[in-house]
Amino acid sequence: MNPKLINIIPMDLKEQQIVDQTRNFVEKQLVDAEGGHDWWHIYRVWKTAVRIGKEEKADLFVINLAALLHDIADAKFHNGNEEIGPQRATEFLTSLSVNAMTVEHITQIIRYVSFKNRHEQPPFVSKELQIIQDADRLDAIGAIGVARAFNYGGFKGRSLYDPSIPPNPEQSKAEYKATQAPTINHFYEKLLLLKDMMNTPTGKRMAEERHRFMESFLQQFYGEWEGKR
Ligand code: ADP
Ligand code: NI
């Protein structure tokens, strides 16, 4: 078959059933996950990834499964073990008789999707990985991004804003993890940088709109801070 055609064939019934089973599995796995990576984060990344996947004519079976499984076992909650997620995904998908090549592709996506590897060149690239990465990053910006940032900051006991503590966008991986800076700084250290890290044209377009929203949020915030708005 012409390899170009494979990508635009919609999922068949069996694939749709596997996606439904995966959705149920992930939703159960994440019942007591913390706020930033709960089922609803997965849900949003999933919907966004499928939308981008359709526009970019990607393999929608891979997109559905990888989006659903991309955070099933975050390394930061497993003593930094980055292999638990890929391992669980492999076991689960193999139990549903998904073919080995597809399983391998999905586990590679789970392995390389994380933002924290941004300074390293990933040894694996595919259009589907790029799309899941875009969808995951999009969930950190825009209105949802603002909500998640303040939710995370509150959880960590951080202040909203402190004009005497400037943001530090050049920080190392260790500094980034250890920071006690106010939540507003996170916009300059990560959230406003994401727009330029999008991989796909559709991801870029969506990121631009969400980026503008954050900029206007910040303008309003500083205005209100000084009693000017
Ligand atoms: P990911 O799993 O996408 O790599 P993180 O676990 O670092 O992201 O963050 C989860 C959510 O919490 C994201 O929306 C992120 O923007 C937010 N977050 C992470 N670090 C901070 C921080 N220092 N201040 C505010 N929000 C943060
Ligand atoms: Ni995620």
Task: Report the range out of 70-74, 155-159, 208-212 with the highest average pLDDT.
Answer: 208-212
Q: For residue 37, name the pLDDT band (cuts at 50, 70, 90).
A: confident
Distance 14 CA to ligand 2 centre (A): 26
Higher pLDDT, 7 or 135: 135
Return the number of other C-beta atoms located less than 10 Å from residue 152's C-beta: 15
pLDDT reading at 161 higher than 60: yes
Query: What is the structure's pLDDT at 178?
Result: 77
pLDDT reading at 7 higher than 60: no
Q: Whose CA is nearest to atom 10 of ligand 1?
A: 36
Report pLDDT digits (tens) over 73-114.
776 677 777 888 899 999 999 999 999 999 999 999 999 997
pLDDT reading at 226 higher than 90: yes
Query: What is the structure's pLDDT at 3?
Result: 54
| Buried/exposed 156-194: b ≥16 CB within 10 Å, e otherwise | eebeebeeeeebeeeeeeeeeeebebbbbbbbebbbbbb
Mean pLDDT of the region 153-171: 92
Secondary structure (DSSP) of 125-185:
--HHHHHHHHHHHHTTSHHHHHHHHHHHHHHTT--S--TTS---TT--HHHHHH----HHH
Query: What is the structure's pLDDT at 79?
Result: 74
Q: What share of the chain is helix, strand, coil (3-state, %, to 5)?
A: 65, 0, 35
Query: What is the structure's pLDDT at 185?
Result: 97
The DSSP code for 197 is: G
Query: What is the structure's pLDDT at 4?
Result: 52
* 8 Å CB contact between 201 and 189: no
Task: Report the range out of 118-132, 140-154, 167-181 with the highest average pLDDT.
Answer: 140-154
Environment class of 2 (CB within 10 Å of its CB; exposed 0-12, middle 13-18, buried 19+): exposed
Q: Which of 39-53, 73-87, 141-155 has the lowest mean pLDDT?
A: 73-87
pLDDT reading at 115 higher than 70: no
Nearest atom in ligand 1 to 148's CA = 14
Q: Whose CA is nearest to atom 13 of ligand 1?
A: 140
Average pLDDT over the chain, rounded to an integer = 91
Cβ of 36 closer than 6 Å to ligand 1, yes or no, is yes
Distance 107 CA to ligand 2 centre (A): 14
pLDDT reading at 5 higher than 60: no
Mean pLDDT of the region 17-35: 91
**DSSP 3-state of 118:** coil
**DSSP 3-state of 120:** coil
Mean pLDDT of the region 31-49: 90
